[in-house]
A and B are shown apart, each in its own frame.
Chain A
């Protein structure tokens, strides 16, 4: 066996989740795949969609982040400034406080919208017809 390229591409949780879900439907999961799927299905990634991914990347363009940082933000969905400081390299130099705030706003508007609907009754839109 030969390894040609150790890092062809980075995958985000959502992509791995989709791949594993496909395999699950074909019923060819082994233990490690099952455990991985179990793990990442606990993350908010299952509420994401390809549309969300592209929206997210477009929205982050103005912040000039590296690929790794964007991936981190996407996977973790930070909601506090202290989390952003962890995930963005040299955030004290790179980002002003207003920028961090703007970043948090972006995260909320794009990534959390679906999560909020799922989990928090506070954010639920009323008068959904029930069946």
Chain B
């Protein structure tokens, strides 16, 4: 909803991705000059510059991509939330010599870190323990069982969140992006900056950026940093299911395919001005 609305606004105001300029080719000299001035003057300079270089008048001067200490701004922004959980933690007898809190912290990190909890997100690490209930020892087991209330740091960007990651590769399905600790991010072809095409020879997506001098091919190479908006998320329950007797043997193939699926996938979009490779919008 938001995107559509924004697109309409952009069209009405007369600046779209094509008009807000991103092409690094033209800028280097001025950009260096700008970097030396304070931000206030940068804006003024940017205005004059944009007029003198046949930027379209209606495009807002502030859209001029001036860099602030270009190259220094490596943004890999991620989104974390705190999630409140309870769990019963089993502490084996050989851990009794340690402090209960330490033992529980270790157990919780062992159990949850680097795991995706369904509809919650990717667990990173324990934040704190808010409450410990009484510990019990059950017959036949020497371990103690403690109900723990705790808070966990979880990677779960909300929708519309803007993240910066690294391109892991391109395929016909779109651009695959990695955040380093989280790899299951895909930007489908229809969400790329338009017009986009897939270069079969180099296996890379290209934004055919149009200027008045002709089209520039902006390649989305592997390893480049890319800023994208999170537009959708999918959780897949990958927990093992029991054998289904009713289904015929042909289902085994599909089950195997499902096994490989990522439990938590983010769908990104870069079809807005400001999104895409960082080098498109700053000049480096």
Residues of A that sit less than 8 Å from B by CB: 1-11, 13, 15-16, 19-20, 23, 28, 30-33, 35-36, 38-40, 42-44, 68, 72, 75-77, 79-83, 85-87, 89-90, 92-93, 97, 100-101, 104-105, 108, 112, 115-116, 118-120, 122-123
B273 part of interface (Cβ distance < 8 Å): yes
Determine whether B179 belongs to the interface, using a CB cutoff of 8 Å to chain A: yes
Is the Cβ of B62 less than 8 Å from the Cβ of A87? Answer: no
Chain B 1-20 interface mask (CB, 8 Å, partner A; 1/0): 01001100100010000001
Structural contact, B13 and A92, CB atoms closer than 8 A? yes
In the complex, chain B residues whose CB is within 8 Å of the CB of A104: 39, 43
Residues on the A chain within 8 Å of B281, using CB:
80, 82-83
Q: Are A42 and B13 in contact (CB under 8 A)?
A: no
**For the complex, what is the distance from the CA of A116 to the CA of B38, rounded to whole Å?**
11
15 contacts between A and B (CB under 8 A): A3-B83, A4-B86, A4-B149, A6-B81, A15-B80, A32-B114, A39-B76, A39-B181, A80-B66, A82-B65, A92-B6, A101-B62, A105-B39, A119-B72, A120-B35
8 Å CB contact of A85 from B66, B87, B109, B273: B273
Contact A13 B113 (CB under 8 A): no
Closest chain B residue to A71 by CB distance?
Answer: B79
Q: What chain A residues lie within 8 Å of B272 (beta carbons)? A: 86
Tell me if B140 is interfacial: C-beta within 8 Å of chain A.
no
Query: Most chain-B Cβ atoms within 10 A of its Cβ — which of A20, A43, A68, A75?
Result: A75
A interface: dominant SS: helix
Partner of B162, one of A2, A13, A87: A87
A4 x B39 contact (CB < 8 A): no
Cross-chain contact A32 with B113 (CB below 8 angstroms): yes
B220, CB-defined interface residue at 8 Å = no
Q: A30 near B113 (CB under 8 angstroms)?
A: yes
